[in-house]
Amino acid sequence: MVVQLPEHIDPLRLAVRDFATRELRPRVDEMEEAGAIDRSLIDKIGQLGYFGAPFEERWGGSAMGEIGFTIVQEEIARAHASTAVLVAASSGLAARMIAVAGSDEQKKRFLTPMAQGKGVGAFCLTEAGAGSDVPAMATAALADGDNFVINGQKNFISNGQLAEYFVTFAKTDPAQRGRGISLFVIDAGTPGLEIVRLEDKMGIRASDTAEIVYDNVRIDRDRLIGDENTGLQHALSTLNQSRIGIAAISLGMAKEAVKLAWEYAHQRELFGGTLGDQQVAQHTLADMQISLYTAESITYRTALMSDAGENIESEASICKTFVTEAAEETIDRSLQMHGGIGYIRGSAIERIYRDHRVQRIYEGANEVQRNNIYRVMRRLYG
């Protein structure tokens, strides 16, 4: 398959890059120090249509396709990974669940404000004892007349502090394990829904990560998204697309790392010339570019496959695994080229190095992705 990008992609890339240069980069240090994304910046991203990139126009989206959303996440991540994670968690996970499984009324009510950036979403799936093993979740939703009453706890929830909408998975038929999980949307401020802790993380420090408790949270039955007991099915299909987004974020961070390495190598004076004059540095830069080319090709190809309606069950896992690991190696090489100055807090490559490490963990750890890939291989090879 030739990776031929649609005509709207180059203008989109330039527009997102211009936004990142003018609006985002100047605020990075301030947001990292505060441990939060500037709300006015979120509003701007919404006004530009970037939250709505993967959604239809009738639901407030920009109809840019998965490839367009990939470019949005990549270019924002080049400037600031935490901001890219906010967009990915809200649109790529929470809002996408409503787009996939919600009724038209629910899409109008919940998806439209999220696609327009007027309401941030949080994707509430992970628990302390149920990360990769989703059916092991303990959070439960008990039917009570026209209501559901939800009790439980969720961990490592991106956008927990900022979210207006909590897209929440809970068991409605515990005896069925994975086949007894349902999906609900809960407004911030609903009695019993409480943010009990914000995590102090190694990286993506401006992206808030919360522990959430549900204490007899009572919601109307119309907050059920899709049919009862189909939540896990919808989650698995949605995560295929969101894994392309994780690859896009890694790709953007790796591109920024290569740019920083190139600039440093050709400015750093060494042995009567520059570091970039040394063949070892030139070969390192060349290897980094090889990695970028491969990662970009895989990411864009998988996004285009998704837009074409193809089954990407295996390809999404391959994409997420390969690109996050290739990017991590590239970022490490960039930091190594910077030497001691790259290890000092406050340098751009130091932040990128810390921010990237989680990419191999969330949206399904890479070890789980290899399980997915092998499962598809068994069907192919017998």
Residues acting as catalytic residues: 363
Distance of CA 185 to the CA centre of its chain: 19
**In sequence order, which residues have a C-beta less than 8 Å from that of residue 214 and are 6 or more positions away?**
139, 150, 151, 152, 153, 154, 168, 170, 192, 193
Question: What is the CB-side half-sphere exposure of residue 267 using CA atoms within 13 A?
Answer: 8
Q: How far apart are CA 65 and CA 124, in angstroms?
A: 24
**In sequence order, which residues have a C-beta less than 8 Å from that of residue 42 and are 6 or more positions away?**
86, 117, 120, 162
| Count of other CB atoms within 10 angstroms of residue 321 | 24
Residue 201: phi, psi to the nearest 5? Answer: -100, 160
Q: How far apart are CA 278 and CA 347, in angstroms?
A: 23
Sign of the alpha-carbon dihedral angle for 160, 92, 245, 133:
positive
Instruction: Determine how β-strand 121-124 pairs with β-strand 140-144.
Output: unpaired
Q: How far apart are the first and last CA of the chain?
A: 25
**Diameter over CA atoms, the chain:** 80
